[in-house]
Amino acid sequence: MHKMSTQTQLQELHEEVIACTRCPRLVEWRERVARERVRRFADQVYWGKAIPGFGDPAARLLILGLAPAAHGANRTGRMFTGDRSGDWLYRSLYKFDFASQSKSTAQDDGLVLTDCYITAALHCAPPQNKPTAEEKNNCLPYLIQEIQILQNVQTIVVLGKIAFDTAVRILRQLNKLDREAKLNFSHGGEFCLPDGLTLLASFHPSQQNTFTGRLTEPMFDAVFERARQLIERNERSLNPTETGTR
């Protein structure tokens, strides 16, 4: 029997995520938002289901966010698509050659991620962006599977404290991080793990952070510039006679 390709494994996982109804509160909320909508999107059909991750199956960069936005990904069906947090993220990814364009407005807008895969700690929009502990636990197996499938990942960028804590928890479960290691979240934090993975931390590009100036564009760009540097450094170490990026 042939081993399933990474793309096939991801597709099967994505289908399982989309069909998920593990969290009654989140199911009720995502569907109510999709029915009631908001005035500026009143003429649009919302996705209203769980949102799978997406990106390059061979990605060396994994981005982990908190959860879909109620009127962003819950509307469009793709992570960080159609909201202001996504505007910040794709602008930076485009700047450092991880994305084919600097905007993401819909699933069919032509965006292609290169060497980058985006997912989240939760796959459904939580009310007030505050998931319960049980809801976090229910989504955890999906993220564990994603990390196991994405075997080329070298650098993980976590956006916000919940994403950071989720990543640390999973890396410990997968024995990629010592259970006694103490990692504290801070913007720009960089943690080198024993198996060669690097964890980079950033404030989440939410309006709460960007409108107040807690997170600025140079601060955010610095995280993805560092991710690019790490990937290129690893590539040079593996191919010392070659130059340039993939």
- Asked, for residue 51, whether it belongs to a domain, the answer is yes
pLDDT digits (tens, 9 = 90+) for 101-131: 999 999 999 999 999 999 999 999 999 989 9
DSSP string, 52-105: --EE-TT-SEEEEES---TTTHHHHSSTT-SSHHHHHHHHHHHHTTSBSSS---
Which of 191, 183, 221, 229 lies closest to 203 in space, CA to CA?
221
Compute the chain's Rg from CA coordinates: 18
- Asked, for residue 76, whether it belongs to a domain, the answer is yes
For residue 3, what pLDDT is reported?
Answer: 67
- Asked, for residue 243, whether it belongs to a domain, the answer is no
This prediction's pTM: 0.94
Say how far apart CA 74 and CA 29 lie, in whole Å: 10
For residue 162, what pLDDT is reported?
Answer: 95
pLDDT digits (tens, 9 = 90+) for 167-224: 999 999 999 888 888 899 999 999 999 888 999 999 999 999 999 999 999 999 999 9
CATH number at residue 48: 3.40.470.10
- Asked, for residue 62, whether it belongs to a domain, the answer is yes
Range of the domain at 17: 6-238
pLDDT digits (tens, 9 = 90+) for 32-41: 999 999 999 9
**Residue reference for tokens 């956006």:** 159
Whether 1 shows a pLDDT value over 70: the answer reads: no
3-state secondary structure at position 170: helix
* Reported confidence tier of residue 242, pLDDT bands at 50, 70, 90: low
* Reported confidence tier of residue 5, pLDDT bands at 50, 70, 90: very high
* Reported confidence tier of residue 241, pLDDT bands at 50, 70, 90: low
User: Which has the minimum average pLDDT: 52-66, 101-115, 150-164, 226-240?
Assistant: 226-240
Mean pLDDT of the chain: 94
In the chain, the number of structural domains is 1
**Residue reference for tokens 């991710």:** 227
- Asked, for residue 222, whether it belongs to a domain, the answer is yes
- Asked, for residue 1, whether it belongs to a domain, the answer is no
Average of per-residue pLDDT across 1-9: 79
Phi then psi dihedrals of residue 61, to 5 deg: -115, 125
- Asked, for residue 246, whether it belongs to a domain, the answer is no
pLDDT digits (tens, 9 = 90+) for 26-82: 999 999 999 999 999 999 999 999 999 999 999 999 999 999 999 999 999 999 999
Whether 235 shows a pLDDT value over 90: the answer reads: no
- Asked, for residue 217, whether it belongs to a domain, the answer is yes
Average of per-residue pLDDT across 146-174: 96
For residue 32, what pLDDT is reported?
Answer: 97
